[in-house]
Structure 1
């Protein structure tokens, strides 16, 4: 099995806070992340499969268009807390990686390839990964 990965960048703001807690309680749990702040995210999308007759799993241009249409057009320069994806869950790197995986999965399944992994880098030193072998999303 062969895999390909395409990297993307986007800017977004978020705040980690639970609405049923006080400001002080949120700051105790989430520290500085309880305040609105931004990140320069790096998103890696990995497909796995068998190359087609042209020798590729998917044209990188096509992959770029799909990711832009289904993720980046909504996430880039957004306040993530305001997006429908994060009204019922915090926009942590972990939740974002899982959510992006399931946003892209229906668009990145073909006869000879599938979406293998999403890696979302919140900083160069901190990231979350969601892989296809995880349990199905609730």
Structure 2
């Protein structure tokens, strides 16, 4: 099995806020991230697929096609958007990095060719904070 990773970038704003909680409880749990005016991140997205190299090309997957799929189904939907209000696939979800990584998986996995499988979504919120999601 060979693993191929494509790195993409997007910028997005969000606030961490549970509507079932009071403002005080949200501020206690989420701190500045519950700011009603939101805050932003420069996200780095690592998408790793796995498969066997094609005998004709030597590729697990054409990286240009992978980049196009990520752009169409993920980054075009997220870049320069408010995750809480502008992104249909995040509707009704808390916009934590964990939930965002899982939602990205759900967006991307069905789009991949049958010859590869999605192995991992690694999403950096900051240079020191990231999550990895390997599917359910």
TM-score bracket, shorter-length normalisation: over 0.9
Residues of 2 paired with 1:110 and 1:52: CA distance?
12
Report the CA distance between 1:20 and its aligned residue: 2.7
Report the CA distance between 1:30 and its aligned residue: 0.4
Q: Could you say what secondary structure the match of 2:74 adopts? A: helix
| Structure 1 vs Structure 2 CA RMSD | 1.1
Q: Does residue 1:73 correspond to 2:81, yes or no?
A: no
Residue in structure 1 matched with residue 134 of structure 2 by the alignment:
131
Contact 1:97/1:120 (8 A) holds in 2: yes
Q: Could you say what secondary structure the match of 2:84 adopts? A: helix
Contact 1:39/1:122 (8 A) holds in 2: yes
Q: Which runs of 5+ in 1 are unaligned?
A: none
- What TM-score does the superposition give when structure 1 sets the normalisation length? 0.91
Q: What's the CA shift string for 1:65-97, capped at 9, x where partnerless? A: 000000111100000001222221111010011
Q: Which runs of 5+ in 2 are unaligned?
A: none
Report the CA distance between 1:125 and its aligned residue: 0.7
Residue in structure 2 matched with residue 59 of structure 1 by the alignment:
62
Q: Which runs of 4+ in 1 moved over 6 A?
A: none
Q: Does residue 1:115 correspond to 2:118, yes or no?
A: yes
Q: Could you say what secondary structure the match of 1:52 adopts? A: coil
Contact 1:109/1:115 (8 A) holds in 2: no
- What TM-score does the superposition give when structure 2 sets the normalisation length? 0.92
Residues of 2 paired with 1:65 and 1:75: CA distance?
15
Contact 2:4/2:50 (8 A) holds in 1: yes
